[in-house]
Amino acid sequence: MKPCRIAVLATLAFVSPVLAQSGDPSRGQRDFRACVPCHSLEPDRNTTGPSLANLWGRKAGSLPSFDRYSDTLKASGIIWDDRSLDAWLADPQRMVPDNEMPFEGIKDSRVRSDLLAFLKEATKPGGAPERAAENRMKGMGGMMGGDRAPNLKALEPGQRVTSITHCRDTYRVITADGKRRQFWERNLRLKTDSSQEGPQSGAPAIVPAGMLGDRADVIFAAPEEISRTVEARC
């Protein structure tokens, strides 16, 4: 038997018998706010972590649209249900050592029970109250990363990047409204978004980052567009 499966069985043997049926979904919905920055309830809308839609009965590490599972999780053989999810929420690293989820676990069994009660309903087809959960994150989202990523298909002129030059330690970004912004090279992040909400090919978007106006992200439709757009020129 593989070591990771032994760890899973050992964890399940000692986990408290908390079941989703005993929790309070309304309290669990509030607790889910801590999960929103990394997990969506919408099918195949993956962010930092995989979508939780249709989670019950799914094999761990098996969502086809998510490519960033750790090898240990894929090899664990876990099927997600009340018991295995309770063990995972209690201590992910104990259950599957060396998994890549940056989460220390929830030690309070009542909080886990409430969260499971909410998730068991919300992850069913048509059961996701995603908008409500995200709306409650607004106001804190700028600090915690909880706001939903904006749709970048249709951009205002001030958001659409037409050229980027790099000279010594400075990026100069020109947008379709003719304005130029200058960034220290460590304050400008070049990213890609190939999803349905990402930018059109050849029309990278600039979005604010940080709290002082000195940082931004430029988001491209594909990696190869970065080298085509950024020009080394003083």
For the chain, percent of residues with pLDDT exceeding 90? 69
* C-alpha distance from residue 220 to each of 142, 168, 196 (Å): 21, 23, 13
Pairing of strands 170-175, 161-167: antiparallel
pLDDT tier for residue 201 given thresholds of 50, 70 and 90: very high
Residues 200 and 131 in one domain: no
Residues 124 and 176 in one domain: no
Residues 207 and 99 in one domain: no
Residues 97 and 136 in one domain: yes
Residues 139 and 169 in one domain: no
The reply to whether 82 falls in a domain is yes
Three-class SS of residue 184?
strand
Residues 192 and 103 in one domain: no
Which residue shows structure tokens 């010594």? 168
Asked whether the beta carbons of 52 and 123 are under 8 A apart, the reply is yes
Write the CATH number for 43: 1.10.760.10
pLDDT tier for residue 1 given thresholds of 50, 70 and 90: low
Residues 180 and 133 in one domain: no
The domain boundary, picked from 113, 144, 175, lies at: 144
Residue 223, H or E segment: none
The whole-number pLDDT of residue 137 equals: 40
Residues 130 and 198 in one domain: no
Residues 126 and 22 in one domain: yes
The domain boundary, picked from 83, 114, 144, lies at: 144
Residues 17 and 103 in one domain: yes
Planar angle of CA 40, 72, 191, nearest 5 degrees: 45
The reply to whether 191 falls in a domain is yes
Residues 58 and 133 in one domain: yes
The reply to whether 149 falls in a domain is no
The domain boundary, picked from 97, 117, 144, lies at: 144
The whole-number pLDDT of residue 171 equals: 96
Over the stretch 97-153, which tens digit does the pLDDT of each residue have? 989 888 899 999 999 999 999 999 999 988 765 444 444 444 334 333 444 567 899
Asked whether the beta carbons of 33 and 49 are under 8 A apart, the reply is no
* pTM of structure: 0.67
Three-class SS of residue 226?
helix
Residues 108 and 13 in one domain: yes
For 32, the token pair is 């889910």
* C-alpha distance from residue 122 to each of 58, 129, 173 (Å): 15, 7, 42
Supply the range of the domain harboring residue 219. 161-232
Q: Give bridge partners of residue 171 from the DSSP assignment.
A: 166, 183
Count of structural domains, the chain = 2
